[in-house]
Amino acid sequence: MEAQAVKTNLVLILDFGSQYTHLITRRIRSLSVFSLCISGTSSLKSITDLNPSVIILSGGPHSVHAPDAPSFPDGFVEYVESKGVFVLGICYGLQLLVEKLGGEVRVGEKQEYGRMEIEVLKESCGLFDCRKIGDKQMVWMSHGDEAVRLPQGFEVVARSQQGSVAAVENPGRRFYGLQYHPEVTHSPEGMATLRHFLFNVCGVSDGWTMTDVMQEEIKVINEMVGTEDHVICALSGGVDSTVAATLVHKAIGDRLHCVFVDNGLLRFKERERVMETFEKDLHLPVTCVDAVEQFLSKLKGVVDPEAKRKIIGKEFICIFDAFANDLEQKTGKKPAFLVQGTLYPDVIESCPPPGSGRTHSHTIKSHHNVGGLPKDMKLKLIEPLKLLFKDEVRELGKILNVPVPFLKRHPFPGPGLAVRVLGDVTEGNALDILRQVDEIFIQSIKDAGLYDSIWQAFAVFLPIRSVGVQGDQRTHSHVVALRAVTSQDGMTADWYNFEHKFLDDVARKICNSVRGVNRVVQDITSKPPSTIEWE
């Protein structure tokens, strides 16, 4: 679905770098309202082309009075007022509104981080659903600066228990601001505030559904792909590419040609299991290409994670180009399009926020679907899921009758085990060891009935050896790490707290069953500060 296709009821988030920005997008979508997030420093044309009904200015780590503070573009205020667009500033967004409209923001005498009680000072039907003066609620604060003088026409609606401005409004100009974060669960009444603001104040309707997404996507695909054009789909065996393929197949039928590449970086028996699912359950036309030697020979000696991702992306395209040439011989028409299961978090993580000092070449990581492909690629991309989160893709998959067990599969990175073997993936038998360890770990999770409670679980092969004792002999063997996290969308995550007995059983199975491993460790780091994958 192209964002431009949503011409009404779009809630547009301008991202100024808050770690919670994606949560605003998700919370609004959970209300069946389409929401989209773009950089806070996007051009005015980028904003006007989307024709939003509501614009939310996100939080961020910056000070609005700093010389390099990110801001919305020139002409923004005039645009929203002329079009009657509602604007809600959150945290930094509130301070940005105050500063740009003639008020004043200073470093606060007292900083406010974490839970804080606020009190309503003015009956506001705009922000607090006509709450009475004196009503209190607990919210989540995260700011060091504070608004000390409001622009003309603005009023303070609520203050914190320390006396700082917590909410402001100017209903006549349709400007509103919250100093706290209503999108996080630590603000218990935050969702009620957002719901009231969007539906009762802004007049947004809740008609956005996954069925609408499916129908809109089919329309977009048919407009993009000619009636005689053929399309290639890169199937990884994961949820994203499978749902994308099923959607495109529904749109154009047998003119879709799926290719599953065995690049030597797959999990234990992944090739056999995935191909059986494609053929028996999904009835997708799939060709399996054995490219193990092609990939591993190019990865030999490569230890840099970014370099590994780039090499893998390039080799995939070489295979797709060759596959396209073979199809041209068979069909008489060369495919012009490539389908990928790019998701919205891929896009967000590959585009650093404004004010971070990073450009698109300095990202968290180059996703296989975003930034990992060569610029001279001949095939045009079709990315039908690029504005959706993982749980939304699963919901779409249900509508498309993709088997539920398949939709529940944990995410698997495009570069495969290349980013789970730290260092050179071809050194020794690292890949074989990792496959065995990972299979034991995942099967143990399934046997314990924990698989559906975990967002993602996997093993990592570490480039170190440790001293151990096995069979009364000293060993100097490999170390593996176990990683399991809970998450809603992969943007943030917390480590899964297994019972000690489960970990003890798994560690024993691994050391007793996998030759060459004598130590098992667990990764108990959340995201942030870590990413889910190790590379």
Give catalytic residues, as residue numbers: 91, 181, 183
Residue 194 contacts residue 120 (beta carbons within 8 Å): no
Of 251, 242, 299, 257, nearest to 415 by C-alpha is 299
User: Given the structure tokens 């470093």, which residue do they identify?
Assistant: 107
Is the bond leading into 529 cis (omega within 30 degrees of zero)? Answer: yes
| DSSP per position, 344-413 | HHHHHHTSPPTTSS--TTS-S--BTTTB-S-TT--SEEE-TTTT--HHHHHHHHHHTT--HHHHTPPP--
DSSP string, 239-286: HHHHHHHHHHHHHHGGGEEEEEEE-S---TTHHHHHHHHIIIII---E
Percent helix, strand, coil in the chain, to 5, is 35, 25, 40
CB 489 within 8 A of CB 345: yes
Nearest to 367 by CA among 310, 422, 327, 411: 310
The answer for residues whose C-beta is within 8 angstroms of residue 326's C-beta and 6 or more apart is none
242 is in an annotated binding site: yes
Per the rule left: phi > 0, alpha: psi between -120 and 50, beta: everything else, 357 is left
Report which residue type is found at 400: L
Residue 241 counted as an annotated binding residue? yes
**How many Cβ atoms from other residues are within 10 Å of residue 453's Cβ?**
11
Q: Please tell me the distance from the alpha carbon of residue 47 to that of residue 56, in angstroms, as a whole number.
A: 12
What are 256's two structure tokens?
Answer: 């879709």
Among the residues of 69-149, which ranges form H helices?
76-83, 92-100
The closest of 45, 9, 49, 46 to 29, measured between CA atoms, is 9
b/e map 473-488, b = 16+ CB within 10 Å = eebebbbbbbbbbebe
How many CA within 13 A on the CB side of residue 329?
A: 5
User: Is 240 annotated as a binding-site member?
Assistant: yes
- Burial degree of 204 (CB within 10 A; 0-12, 13-18, 19+): buried
Binding-site annotation: residue ranges: 236-242
Binding-site annotation: residue ranges for ATP: 236-242
